[in-house]
Structure 1
Amino acid sequence: MKTDSVVWTFLNSNRSILGKADVPGGIYTDLQANGVIGNILAGDNDVRTRWVAHELWTYTGQFNVSKEVVLNSRVVHLVFEGVDTAAFISLNDNPIGSVNNMFVRYVFDIKDSLQEGSNELKVFFLSPIQTAKVRSDKYFTAPECVPAEYNGECHVNQIRKMQASFSWDWGPAFPSVGIWKPVYIEAYNTAIIRSLTTHITKQKEEWALNIKAYLETSMRKTQITGMLSATLELEGKQTVKKWVPVYETSQSDGTFVVELELKVSENQVRVWWPNGYGKQPLYELNVLFASDTSLNETSHKRIMVGFRTVELVERDASEVLGNTTAGTGLTFYFKVNGYPLFMKGSNWIPSNILPELGESETEVVDNLLKSAQDAHMAMLRVWGGGVYESDYFYEKCDQLGILVWQDFLFACAMYPTDSDFISTVEGEIEQNILRLQHHPSIAVWAGNNENEAALVGNWYGTRQNFEKYQKDYIKLYVETIKPIVQELDPGRRYLVSSPSNGLESEKENYISHNPYDPHYGDTHYYNYLADNWNMMTYPKTRFASEYGFQSLPSLATMRTATNNSEDFSVDSNYSIHRQHSPNGYSFIELQMNSRMKINEDDPKYFEKFVFYSQISQAMAIKTETELYRQDQANWYTMGALYWQLNDVWQAPSWSSIEYTGRWKMLHYFAKNFFAPVLVSPRLDSTGEMEVYLINDRFVPIMEAKITMEFYNWSSPAPILTKQYPASCGPLTATLQPNIDKTFMGYKTEEIFAKFTLQAAGVQSPPNYVFPVPLKHVTTLKKPHIEVLVSNFVMRRQRRSLEYSVQIRVDTVVAFLWLETTVDGRFEQNGLIVTEPQISVKFFCKEHVSPRILENSITTQYYLN
């Protein structure tokens, strides 16, 4: 049985709503497809459709089976790859089991319930809201509820469901139910390969590839015999093959493991590198189990593997930094193929609030991951309140060279540890490690998001019951999850929490007195009150795994949620409804007003509020990220993963890419502040300039020059140009000692400094120092801007079209933003224009007349 040969319907409890269902799918997508509800992301439909999650829904599948195909097999299983979340299942009115964890694959023996000809499968879903409440009444675990601003539901920590489905500060509540992954019948006579793990280690001049095949059967404590073979495709169409005889007794759960090892010369494969450091060669591994029975039955599994080493290094920091304040504590960095690499990247939330669409909408995943690659990202942290992503997601990360920091799915809460909860978590962790372990992109496992910090910081009023919650914490993340990780994937580091002090937290019985100690581990940092364009604002850290600021999405993206002009106001009901972060708009306003001037009486106030919020976000994240990159030199900071990459709806959030796939100004800035080579200036605590050269390449930068130009804001021509010799070692940042620190006596409210690099074969984007807040600049003039599109159109690789957009100005333009209704993307945006004429490329897939493109382009910029 395949899902496409089944006729599925859904029905509510009082039989008033009936419709055709899609599997894989979910109740919200089915209700939309049947016209029962409208666009769930429009207006306040997240609240208006909440009744859906309180209903009881039944999914019914009608299908036929033939006697010879299915009923004559010794083993007949019904496999649910994913059911969201609590449900009872029957086949032909015979109960066959129940489910309670959307992250678990469920396998039911249906040989005695299946019948020749017509069959009826029913899945009776419980309300996830009611299920969570019933469990909370029995096993209450803090917090009670989410903040009121979230418009969410309570007690999601009680059930193994996407935690963000009950709402988050960046997203709506859609507590869906449904069969969100494939369901099918497996029929065979001996055993099948369910999972493969690959443990790859380097031993002098060869790689050892240890393969474990995890096989399943319904026949418990039964002798299984046959042959297991593995074939690995290598460079130059070479192969290496090995087989071992199988003579195993299945365990009481019907599983058994067969192991074999392949040896591969280092000359036969190329090394896999993260994005920006090299290529990502992948090699096909085929594993086949052939049983010894007279039926000649086989089971086959194919995966792609990459040859690389990844180590999370936590050693005495004084080995790197000497006996200084910075040298206290431990390092925290990823060594890949023997090299310490600074991890540039972001945090990934689910690509859709409805998990079935996150699985099926591969073009959305493509766009997001390609955008991360284009911005030089080498790591994404898959955040612990979402889902274990699709196989497609991890395969794409393998191909693009994006390492994955994978949280287990526990976030911002305490969790119960009753036997039912622990039991389902054990299956969840085991299955998902076995599914994902072989991917070269997986770099590290983390037990949870922020739960150590929440417990220590009394976020949810746990101090009165601290010993209980401490015991629960250790039982779940240390006694339950950690041994499973160590057994199934001993080659990867398991961090109990993020943030944490890593090994230091473990020494303190896994709950550190200060999980944010900058001398250890990773940190999350948010501060909406300080001046976030000032590098001196930010604390030191070994690894910044979360930090961010909100902005609003573009008006174009907002218009996909509302066409009501009254909604386009900061204090409209719509805007208040969409802002889930308490005091969110006040913090955005505070940040904007600290650096920029915006007039509330301006008829275009909201339009400017949106635009300035994106400037503010981009500059804040640029400032913080560049500090972390500079601090390779003096604190050995070795990672910067800003919060967050993507969005699940059209609302204020911390993302750099909007729900519609549009890049915010932040993402364009990320292309520059994550550039492999970067001249990175800053103002120190005395207001003088310091200039760092950052080099993420394996070779040093020698005999280079840094050009410093001073500009008056009123003229697109430098008023002073100076050059300085520059150099930097490989994979580091270096403070350039000989560059003038002062502003040469110029009035700081009239000028700014621009920095560029000249070096053979090396490119660095321009970078800037603004000595005073923009609102204090006295010489900014309203520009005259002319936009022309060349008639010559180039066709690039990946079949995109490239247009050349010429921009002419009569003065310096601050944060020039180009927008068009044509579906495509500018190569650069949010520009500081310092020349009378510049050229910007525009890429799109469908051909459009240059004149139509030219007439569609609109501009925005900052002006006091």
Structure 2
Amino acid sequence: MAICFFLFLSVISICMQFTYIRCEFRRIELTSSNEHVVWTLSNNNNTQVPGTVPGGVYSDLQKAGVISDILSGYNDVRTRWVAYDTWRYTGHFEVGEHDLESSIVNLVFEGVDTVGFIELNDVPIGTTRNMFVRYVFDVKQHLRIGKNKLKISFASPVEVARNRSNKHFAAPSCVPDIYNGECHANQIRKMQASFSWDWGPAFPSVGLWKPVYIELYDGAIIRSVTTHIEQKKQNWELRIVAHVESGTRKKHVIGYLSASLAVDGPQTIKVGRKIGVVTRDDGTGELELNMTVSLNVVSLWWPNGFGDQTLYDLEVSLKTHEKSEEICRKSVKIGFRTLEVIEEDASKGLTFYFKVNGYPIFMKGSNWIPANILPELGYDKSTVDSLLIAASEIHMSMLRVWGGGVYESDYFYERCDQLGILIWQDLMFACAMYPTDPEFLDNVTDEIQQTVIRLQHHPSIALWAGNNENEVALRGNWYNTQTQFSKYKEEYIKLYVDTIKPIVESLDPYRRYLVSSPSNGLESEQEGYIAQNPYDPHYGDTHYYNYLNDNWDLNIYPNTRFASEYGFQSLPSLKTMATATKNKEDYKLNSAYSKHRQHSPNGYDFIKDQINLHLNLNESDPKYFEKFVFYSQITQAMAMKAETEFYRQSQANWYTMGALYWQLNDVWQAPSWSSIEYGGKWKMLHYYAKSFFAPVLVSPRLLLTGAVDVYVINDRLVPLIDSKITIEFYNWSSLIPFKSQEHPASAEMLSAAKQMSLSLAEYNKDEIFLKFSLDIENVSYSPHNFIFPRPLKEIKGLKQPHIKITVENNRFKNRFQKKFRYVVNIEVDAVVLFLWLETNSLDGRFLDNGFIVTQPRTKVDYIIQKNVSAQELKKCITYQYYIN
């Protein structure tokens, strides 16, 4: 936030004489947190309820009791009338005489969802048409001393989209019927997923989803700061751009611009110069400074798992004169790092990888969808924190902010900076062709300019991608566009290449702009931006989904340079499902409710087929649905483990350099590809990701020949030497291995290396399994790994275990995270597959789960935010496991 006093420069003669006027910058907050502002929400059918800003129509109607919990039952459809109605937010506030003395009085909307008509004191002052754009209106002449009324009337987004489609149709017309969604989301600049997706419901909301305020000043404000950092020899060259605004009337801004950077030492580097700029007709302009920073006085910023995330405070200020008092200031935190996307000749094709601070780093992570289907709730800091910390805890170094959602909050990117999570930032275009009429392109131009300027200074931003899957959709005729291929290709290039690309590259010249994801990168560009095969494994990034072959088998997966999407579905836990329905009849696969929640065509059949390939599940079992839920999570975890380890192993022979599974989070209680359920509960997949993303990992691959190749993966910046792999051979009937062997292991830094091949020809494969361990000094965590030579439904000798669970009293509180930690002891007398622990009546979390138990005694920590007795915790623990 800018904390500013401002400079007003009045042209008083044709000779450019100036008068300097000092004035305090002030804001009148028009959000609901201001007790002097009252908002109401109403429609034309006599519905009137208290309004919330920031907020939205669905959340306000739910709070008022007009509609019930929108995520319960079938309420996504039953409340759809809300999206077809027209709504008004009306705010009443007061303005003092002193407020109107300021030369510039702007009404600022940080985010309006989406098509709104704005009136101040019954005078029209403007319209909005893009939920991603900040709108600024000069309202000095429309404000009154005393009481004022602000009214925003919203058009139905569904109707606006339909009307635009009638004039500027772009395929597809509608989402599949199974989504229970709305049509023509591609026509309006709104969160595309709000019209529904295969993982989420349709809630085409309207509202003021970000803050609203009046800003008062006399000269110019620094709205944003962008930073351009380049390493040259022994220095960092830092170009600082202050993006200023001076009101809607063109002004000549002069003064003294300075910047100070707090660096190691501690010491401060300062630069400054006299400035003068004539702002554009819309009142915007840019002021620049250059700073040289020695490599010796700052530390590098690293992705999570590779080093520290050192951030430095940069303050940019504007003064009337060099030695005068500061009158305007903007502060940001920056990090010093180099990042390149390397696309260079390989044995065939081109590489595609991220080089950070000179090192080629394999990116481990996932895809981020909005944290809530209602955008104002998706910005909740506690929700964002919970999800990002969960990502960092399992060794993720990158998240892809997917192109059908929203540009996330400033807080989101600040936390990514702090946690070392690089962001592959899609622009908000997904799974559709888009219109290119002048109105749409003007709309997009404002959106991209504001977005890049707002986010550019974050070291966590790794690259920009123009869209999600639109290149492959056009080439693959997903939406029956083949007969108009030339038309759609021309429009594709007009939008992503001619309009968006120059904006991004001019505002952020040191980051890669990919036109699409997936794409062949440079190769797609050379083929005219629509490659003949955008999934060519020799180039760029790929999205891969395969529901027909055995997803536990590493051999089915295709080579790729970078896997930016891949996944498999599972159901949420019964605990999470219970927050949406308590009707017992809904807890069946063929219930109307279950069908309503499954948006992926044939989704349950695909899950069932994968379960049946490996696990024994009888549909006549009275606990069939409960087991189906549990087995779906086993299947998802094992499928993602197999595919991810295949990609990590492929560093060795294909130079695969990234694995971002689909998807991290959920927006409701339904089957999806997520590893974290709506509400924050970890699925088995998220626990397994902590292992398959481990920095040092022994990773076996069962080949089609029956042999086993064994790899070591080393994500550290030092080589792996003087280590050993221990392989233990077990019969399913015993906790004691019948054979053990050791092998030396080594790997270069940041690499995967095949260590050996094993033959299993002499063994009865349905009676045995193998356990792999890696021992290396100074590595605190390298998880065990396993090979099951036969599908688990065919194994022989597995016994019904006796399981004893106790809880130790030696609890302690982590004063930083404000959590209590307990040690849970597990004793068994037989091998246990996928031991899954629950505490449904408590909202805590085990730090590990879904175990393959091969030892008589195992310990696992449990964390919770409230203090409970060991006895109470023990009573709450339940468990499941797999047995034929």
**TM-score normalised by length of structure 1:** 0.97
Letter in structure 2 aligned against 1:121: L
Equivalent residue number for residue 22 of structure 2 = none
Cα distance in 2, alignment partners of residues 356 and 497 from structure 1: 27
For residue 829 of structure 1, the aligned residue among 838, 842, 849 is 849
Cα distance in 1, alignment partners of residues 134 and 552 from structure 2: 47
For residue 577 of structure 1, the aligned residue among 591, 596, 602 is 596
Equivalent residue number for residue 544 of structure 1 = 563
For residue 846 of structure 1, the aligned residue among 866, 876, 881 is 866
Equivalent residue number for residue 320 of structure 1 = none
8 Å Cα contact 2:256-2:322 kept in structure 1: no
For residue 2 of structure 1, the aligned residue among 29, 35, 38 is 29
Return 5+ residue gaps in structure 1 as ranges.
Answer: 318-326
Letter in structure 2 aligned against 1:78: L
8 Å Cα contact 2:823-2:859 kept in structure 1: yes
| Cα offsets for 1:647-700 (capped at 9, x unmatched) | 000000000000010000000000000000000001112121000000000111
Q: Is 1:208 equivalent to 2:237 in the alignment? A: yes
For residue 475 of structure 2, the aligned residue among 428, 433, 456 is 456
Cα distance in 1, alignment partners of residues 41 and 375 from structure 2: 21
C-alpha RMSD over aligned residues:
1.3
774-783 vs 413-422, which moves further? 774-783
Q: How far 1:754 moved relative to its partner? A: 0.3
841-850 vs 39-48, which moves further? 841-850
Equivalent residue number for residue 358 of structure 1 = 378
Equivalent residue number for residue 35 of structure 1 = 65
Question: Secondary structure of the equivalent of 1:704?
Answer: strand
Cα distance in 1, alignment partners of residues 486 and 235 from structure 2: 50
Equivalent residue number for residue 117 of structure 2 = 88
Cα distance in 2, alignment partners of residues 580 and 757 from structure 1: 42
8 Å Cα contact 2:315-2:329 kept in structure 1: yes
Equivalent residue number for residue 269 of structure 2 = 240
Equivalent residue number for residue 113 of structure 1 = 142
Cα distance in 2, alignment partners of residues 77 and 295 from structure 1: 27
Equivalent residue number for residue 252 of structure 1 = 281
8 Å Cα contact 1:12-1:55 kept in structure 2: no
Question: Secondary structure of the equivalent of 1:847?
Answer: coil
Q: Is 1:799 equivalent to 2:829 in the alignment? A: no
Q: Is 1:640 equivalent to 2:659 in the alignment? A: yes
For residue 749 of structure 1, the aligned residue among 766, 789, 795 is 766
Equivalent residue number for residue 781 of structure 1 = 799
Equivalence map 1:264-413=2 (5 Å): 264-291=293-320, 298-317=327-346, 327-359=347-379, 361-413=380-432
**TM-score normalised by length of structure 2:** 0.95
For residue 194 of structure 1, the aligned residue among 223, 246, 268 is 223
Equivalent residue number for residue 173 of structure 1 = 202
| Cα offsets for 1:317-337 (capped at 9, x unmatched) | 1xxxxxxxxx20000000000
Question: Secondary structure of the equivalent of 1:798?
Answer: coil
For residue 729 of structure 1, the aligned residue among 748, 753, 767 is 748
842-851 vs 373-382, which moves further? 842-851
Q: How far 1:7 moved relative to its partner? A: 3.1
Equivalence map 1:644-655=2 (5 Å): 644-655=663-674
Q: Is 1:147 equivalent to 2:176 in the alignment? A: yes
Equivalence map 1:521-600=2 (5 Å): 521-600=540-619
Q: Is 1:714 equivalent to 2:733 in the alignment? A: yes
Change (3 A) 1:751 1:293: closer
Cα distance in 1, alignment partners of residues 275 and 721 from structure 2: 59
Letter in structure 1 aligned against 2:120: L
Letter in structure 1 aligned against 2:843: D
| Cα offsets for 1:120-148 (capped at 9, x unmatched) | 11101000000000000111110010001
Equivalent residue number for residue 603 of structure 1 = 622
8 Å Cα contact 2:464-2:513 kept in structure 1: yes
8 Å Cα contact 1:190-1:291 kept in structure 2: no
Q: How far 1:219 moved relative to its partner? A: 5.1
Q: How far 1:291 moved relative to its partner? A: 3.9
Letter in structure 2 aligned against 1:761: N
8 Å Cα contact 2:711-2:753 kept in structure 1: yes
Equivalent residue number for residue 45 of structure 1 = 75
Q: How far 1:290 moved relative to its partner? A: 2.4
Q: How far 1:252 moved relative to its partner? A: 2.1
| Cα offsets for 1:571-600 (capped at 9, x unmatched) | 111111100001100000011111111011
8 Å Cα contact 1:388-1:432 kept in structure 2: yes
Q: How far 1:248 moved relative to its partner? A: 1.4
Question: Secondary structure of the equivalent of 1:736?
Answer: strand
8 Å Cα contact 1:189-1:297 kept in structure 2: no
Letter in structure 2 aligned against 1:781: K
Equivalent residue number for residue 621 of structure 1 = 640
Question: Secondary structure of the equivalent of 1:267?
Answer: helix
8 Å Cα contact 1:557-1:658 kept in structure 2: yes
Q: How far 1:9 moved relative to its partner? A: 3.3
Cα distance in 2, alignment partners of residues 108 and 245 from structure 1: 30
8 Å Cα contact 1:691-1:736 kept in structure 2: yes
Q: How far 1:11 moved relative to its partner? A: 4.1
Equivalent residue number for residue 767 of structure 1 = 785
Change (3 A) 1:681 1:166: same
Q: How far 1:67 moved relative to its partner? A: 1.6
8 Å Cα contact 2:728-2:770 kept in structure 1: yes
Sequence identity percentage: 62
Question: Secondary structure of the equivalent of 2:159?
Answer: helix
Change (3 A) 1:803 1:658: same
Question: Secondary structure of the equivalent of 2:296?
Answer: coil
Cα distance in 1, alignment partners of residues 305 and 65 from structure 2: 46
838-847 vs 650-659, which moves further? 838-847
8 Å Cα contact 2:706-2:760 kept in structure 1: no
Letter in structure 1 aligned against 2:75: N
For residue 880 of structure 2, the aligned residue among 857, 860, 864 is 860
8 Å Cα contact 1:209-1:261 kept in structure 2: yes
Q: How far 1:293 moved relative to its partner? A: 13
8 Å Cα contact 1:87-1:98 kept in structure 2: yes
Question: Secondary structure of the equivalent of 1:560?
Answer: coil
Cα distance in 2, alignment partners of residues 820 and 297 from structure 1: 56
Equivalent residue number for residue 321 of structure 1 = none
Question: Secondary structure of the equivalent of 1:466?
Answer: helix
Question: Secondary structure of the equivalent of 1:634?
Answer: coil
Cα distance in 1, alignment partners of residues 856 and 321 from structure 2: 78
| Cα offsets for 1:382-417 (capped at 9, x unmatched) | 000000000000000000000000000000000000
8 Å Cα contact 2:92-2:147 kept in structure 1: yes
Q: How far 1:296 moved relative to its partner? A: 7.2
Change (3 A) 1:294 1:732: closer
Question: Secondary structure of the equivalent of 1:640?
Answer: strand
8 Å Cα contact 1:193-1:299 kept in structure 2: yes
8 Å Cα contact 1:8-1:59 kept in structure 2: no
Q: Count how many residue pairs are aligned between Structure 1 and Structure 2.
A: 851
